[in-house]
């Protein structure tokens, strides 16, 4: 098995690393204080110009055609500096991919280039509801066909990038008589459409620059052609596309975990206690060894899932395994980093405190760790049936 990266993948990884160090890292602490939104959006536009908003999208629609492995590498490097930017780039890529996968030619030509070029700062998935989180089939937002249009009513929760997204991929019930999960459809709704209201902003533990809001649909009328994919096929679309998103979130977590351990390890070679650098103590060395071993295992799981996706093979189980392990390993790494810095790790004078807050949500969004275990078990048991 050849684990070497191609020259193109190395170039994308290095470009992402350089951009993260020069543009994202100096801004990250300000963004964590919820300052500098214009600079955050400006960096998204720069990343679009570099081709990072459509890494696995065909060039005909403005994408880079670099593939899923390059996508994973890029998200990891961006997350080392700014998790909020990395999650926005990840979601943007997945919005482009779902439109490319099931959209009409009109939808592809209209919306994908606007995200890839940066004309739209972001795209958003509007799936989660207050009563339909891990169980999206329980959603109640509805879409009714009326006089050649669709009319949406309902509310979505925890929607990333909502205030500055140019396009929303929205799931709604279109057949209330169908069995649970069978009567859901998917729609494209542009920002500024009458009846689309950006609601309450969530006050989050971390990833402060990435806006998270409620989105309300109040008799929101959209054209008939805004239906994405087939009628009543939305649940299958959601399940399929979330698998790709899990590679993105796992890669993001890996980047945060590496950033935390790199900082803490460097600190341990400088901090002196009992007349010695603390890196000489076995307790610290074992923290370093365990964390980096787990993060390397996470990287290999992510590369395997991304490679299978890029090769057109089934990757649902592998993506869930990678997301589960990477996010939990990164959480452990970030808390180890705080521990290595001692009291300083609990202050905002050092970035590990921010890394620990930013990484926490990675075991929750794009499917909790508990949901990943259900998916993994289901896929394994299928092979024994």
In a shared domain, residues 207 and 268? no
Cα–Cα dist 103/106, whole Å: 8
Note the pLDDT of residue 1. 65
From 55, 88, 120, give the residue that closes a domain.
Answer: 120
Reply yes or no on whether the pLDDT at 129 is more than 90.
Answer: yes
Residue 177 counted as domain residue? yes
Note the pLDDT of residue 335. 98
What's the mean pLDDT in 295-319?
Answer: 97
With a pLDDT cut of 90, the percent of the chain lying above it is 96
In a shared domain, residues 241 and 376? yes
Residue whose pair of structure tokens reads 């739209």 in the numeric block = 120
Q: How confident is the model at residue 126 (pLDDT cuts 50, 70, 90)?
A: very high
Q: How confident is the model at residue 190 (pLDDT cuts 50, 70, 90)?
A: very high
Note the pLDDT of residue 2. 80
What's the mean pLDDT in 86-104?
Answer: 97
Could you give the 3-state DSSP secondary structure of residue 153? strand
Reply yes or no on whether the pLDDT at 186 is more than 70.
Answer: yes
CATH number of the domain that 29 lies in? 1.10.540.10
With 0-12 CB in 10 A as exposed, 13-18 as middle and 19+ as buried, what is 182? middle
Note the pLDDT of residue 196. 98
- For residue 11, the number of C-alpha atoms closer than 13 Å in the C-beta half-sphere is 8
Domain hosting 227: range is: 125-232
Residue 294 counted as domain residue? yes
Both tokens assigned to 126: 């509007």
Q: Is 318 a catalytic residue?
A: no
Could you give the 3-state DSSP secondary structure of residue 167? strand
CATH number of the domain that 222 lies in? 2.40.110.10
Helix-strand-coil split of the chain, %, nearest 5: 60, 15, 25
Residue 35 counted as domain residue? yes
In a shared domain, residues 344 and 240? yes
What's the mean pLDDT in 106-119?
Answer: 98
R_g of the chain computed on alpha carbons:
21
In a shared domain, residues 278 and 292? yes
Cα–Cα dist 220/43, whole Å: 31
Note the pLDDT of residue 293. 98
In a shared domain, residues 376 and 271? yes
DSSP letter for 222, please.
E
In a shared domain, residues 247 and 377? yes
What's the mean pLDDT in 221-225?
Answer: 97
**139, 141, 205, 347 from 157: Cα distances, Å:** 11, 11, 16, 31
Reply yes or no on whether the pLDDT at 184 is more than 70.
Answer: yes
Residue 145 counted as domain residue? yes
Both tokens assigned to 157: 């929760």
**129, 132, 149, 239, 356 from 144: Cα distances, Å:** 18, 20, 8, 23, 43
Cα–Cα dist 159/329, whole Å: 25
- Write down the pTM of the prediction: 0.96
Residue 61 counted as domain residue? yes
Average pLDDT, the chain: 96
Q: Give residues with Cβ within 8 angstroms of 97, minimum separation 6.
A: 56, 57, 241, 244
Note the pLDDT of residue 3. 85
DSSP letters along 298-317, please? HHHHHHHHHHHHHTT---HH
Residue 1 counted as domain residue? no
Please list the residues that pair with 380 across neighbouring strands. none
Reply yes or no on whether the pLDDT at 239 is more than 90.
Answer: no
In a shared domain, residues 108 and 138? no
In a shared domain, residues 171 and 240? no
254, 324 contact by CB (below 8 A): no
In a shared domain, residues 278 and 216? no
Cα–Cα dist 251/68, whole Å: 11
363, 331 contact by CB (below 8 A): yes
Residue 326 counted as domain residue? yes
Closest CA to 133 of 371, 378, 379: 371
Q: Domain tally for the chain?
A: 3
Could you give the 3-state DSSP secondary structure of residue 155? strand
Reply yes or no on whether the pLDDT at 46 is more than 90.
Answer: yes
Residue whose pair of structure tokens reads 């169980």 in the numeric block = 135
Cα–Cα dist 223/145, whole Å: 10
Both tokens assigned to 125: 């998935």
In a shared domain, residues 268 and 369? yes
In a shared domain, residues 248 and 337? yes
Please list the residues that pair with 171 across neighbouring strands. 186
Q: Are strands 276-277 and 165-173 parallel, antiparallel or unpaired?
A: unpaired
In a shared domain, residues 279 and 152? no
Alpha-carbon dihedral angle through residues 65, 110, 19, 81, given to the nearest 10 degrees: -100
Reply yes or no on whether the pLDDT at 385 is more than 90.
Answer: no
From 81, 98, 120, give the residue that closes a domain.
Answer: 120
Alpha-carbon dihedral angle through residues 65, 164, 210, 28, given to the nearest 10 degrees: 80
Residue whose pair of structure tokens reads 């909502």 in the numeric block = 162
CATH number of the domain that 337 lies in? 1.20.140.10
Q: Which residue among 190, 366, 370, 379 is the active-site one?
A: 366
From 94, 120, 146, give the residue that closes a domain.
Answer: 120
Closest CA to 98 of 125, 75, 74: 125
Q: What are phi and psi of 256, to 5 degrees?
A: -65, -45
Residue 2 counted as domain residue? no
């Amino acid at each position: 098995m050849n684990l070497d990266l191609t020259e193109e993948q190395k170039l994308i990884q290095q470009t992402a690393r350089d951009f993260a160090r020069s543009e994202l890292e100096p801004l990250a602490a300000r963004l964590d204080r919820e300052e500098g939104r214009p600079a955050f959006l400006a960096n998204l536009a720069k990343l679009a110009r570099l081709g990072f908003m459509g890494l696995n999208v065909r060039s005909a629609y403005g994408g880079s055609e670099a593939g899923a492995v390059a996508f994973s590498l890029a998200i990891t490097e961006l997350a080392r500096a700014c998790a909020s930017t990395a999650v926005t780039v990840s979601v943007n890529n997945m919005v482009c991919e779902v439109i490319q996968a099931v959209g009409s030619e009109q939808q592809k030509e209209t919306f994908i280039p606007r995200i890839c070029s940066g004309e739209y700062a972001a795209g958003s998935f509007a799936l989660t509801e207050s009563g339909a989180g891990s169980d999206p089939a329980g959603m109640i937002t509805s879409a009714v066909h009326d006089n050649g249009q669709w009319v949406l009513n309902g509310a979505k929760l925890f929607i990333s990038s909502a205030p500055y997204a140019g396009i929303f991929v929205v799931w709604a019930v279109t057949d209330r008589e169908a069995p649970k999960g069978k009567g859901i459809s998917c729609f494209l709704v542009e920002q500024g459409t009458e009846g689309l209201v950006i609601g309450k902003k969530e006050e989050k533990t971390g990833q402060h620059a990435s806006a998270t809001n409620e989105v309300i649909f109040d008799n929101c009328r959209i054209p008939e052609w805004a239906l994405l994919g087939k009628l009543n096929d939305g649940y299958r679309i959601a399940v399929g596309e979330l698998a790709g998103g899990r590679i993105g979130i796992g890669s993001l977590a890996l980047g945060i975990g590496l950033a935390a351990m790199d900082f803490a390890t460097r600190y341990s070679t400088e901090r002196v206690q009992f007349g010695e650098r603390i890196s000489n103590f076995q307790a610290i060395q074992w923290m370093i060894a365990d964390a980096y071993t787990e993060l390397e295992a996470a990287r290999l799981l992510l590369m395997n899932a991304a490679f299978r996706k890029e090769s057109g093979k089934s990757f649902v189980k592998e993506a869930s395994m990678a997301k589960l392990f990477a996010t939990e390993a990164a959480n452990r790494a970030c808390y180890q980093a705080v521990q290595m810095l001692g009291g300083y790790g609990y202050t905002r004078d050092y970035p590990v405190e921010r890394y620990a807050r930013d990484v926490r949500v990675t075991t929750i969004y794009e499917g909790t760790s508990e949901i990943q275990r259900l998916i993994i078990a289901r896929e394994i048991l299928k092979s024994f049936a």
